[in-house]
Amino acid sequence: MNNLKRLDLNLLLTLDVLLKEHNVTRAAERLNLAQPSVSVHLSKLRNIFGDPLLLPGPRGMRPTARGEALREPLRQALDALARAVSPADPFDPAKATHTWRIAAAGYTDSCILLQALSVLRSAAPGTRLAILQISPSHIARHAEQGEIDLAFHKTEGAPPGLHQRVLFTERFVLAGRAGHPRLKRRPTLSQFCNLDHVIMSPEGGGFQGVTDEVLSALGLTRRVVLSVQNFVFLRSALASTDLVAMLPSRLACNDRALQIVEPPVEVPGYEISMLWHERVHRDPAHQWLRERIAGSV
């Protein structure tokens, strides 16, 4: 360790060439240095290692036992260093074996990743995809520690310090089971408030949301009779009962089990963004993944 602190890369490069050429003049030519500079480097190396390293011989210089022992590990170390600092290779999806880890809470797994899955499988068949349920408050920490590659979140309130790319703007529709007797046409505001509503509560147990805030500003309330934590149960509840729900349009519109109508009250929509950490921002593989996902929504 003491020797390592005294070394610099130029000295190691000089030693590597000297051990190949066995000649100070030829080493200087290969290194594009003056011969005295190479001699100075060799003097410093001898002092650091406490060994002559190379000795004069009848046909140039010959390495000592210490010099010979350094030859192969030095070459391997310099090769590894050259690979480490060389530009990243272009990403080839056909040969990739990555395991992508993506945090997709709520309904983003079905309306984003499900759309991208066929593209990913076709272009990069050797890769794997892990879809994780992570609390929004933990996204930034997991991304920083390399435990996830991407996450999806509403643009408003997204964890700070992460790169963002807006994927789409979402709006709300009123949904109930196909053939719902009270959704044959757009209900009036009074009819809407008297329906039995289901609400999505990610944190669990909530009975109020953005729709209730809009109604409250109008001096109205609706009847929320069921609070759930995931969209899978919510959709099943709608399909098998006369309950209704305000759903993101991308979740509801392609479900044949549901009847969709425009709500009688305008509820603000929101943006969904893709999030990632600076540590992977310039990685060619990660850039490829982001472009495939963004292009599929």
CATH 3.40.190.10 fits 172-268, yes or no: yes
Interatomic CA distance for residues 116 and 49, integer angstroms: 57
CATH superfamily, domain 97-167+272-296, is Periplasmic binding protein-like II (3.40.190.10)
**65-116: per-residue pLDDT in tens?**
999 999 999 999 988 888 787 766 789 999 999 999 999 977 888 889 988 9
The whole-number pLDDT of residue 1 equals 42
**CATH class (in words) of the domain with range 2-85:** mainly alpha
DSSP string, 24-77: HHHHHHHHT--HHHHHHHHHHHHHHHTS--EEEETTEEEE-HHHHHHHHHHHHH
**63-75: per-residue pLDDT in tens?**
999 999 999 999 9
DSSP string, 227-270: EES-HHHHHHHHHHSS-EEEEEHHHHTT-TTEEEE--SS----E
**219-238: per-residue pLDDT in tens?**
999 999 999 988 889 999 99
H helices of 55-209, where? 65-85, 108, 114-123, 139-144, 189-194
Mean pLDDT of the chain: 91
Intra-chain end-to-end CA distance of the chain, in Å: 53
**131-189: per-residue pLDDT in tens?**
998 888 899 999 999 999 999 999 998 999 999 999 999 999 999 999 999 999 999 99
Matching CATH topology for 97-167+272-296 and 172-268?
A: yes
The whole-number pLDDT of residue 238 equals 96
Confidence grade of residue 289 (pLDDT, cut at 50, 70, 90): very high
Range 191-211 average pLDDT: 91
Interatomic CA distance for residues 270 and 216, integer angstroms: 20
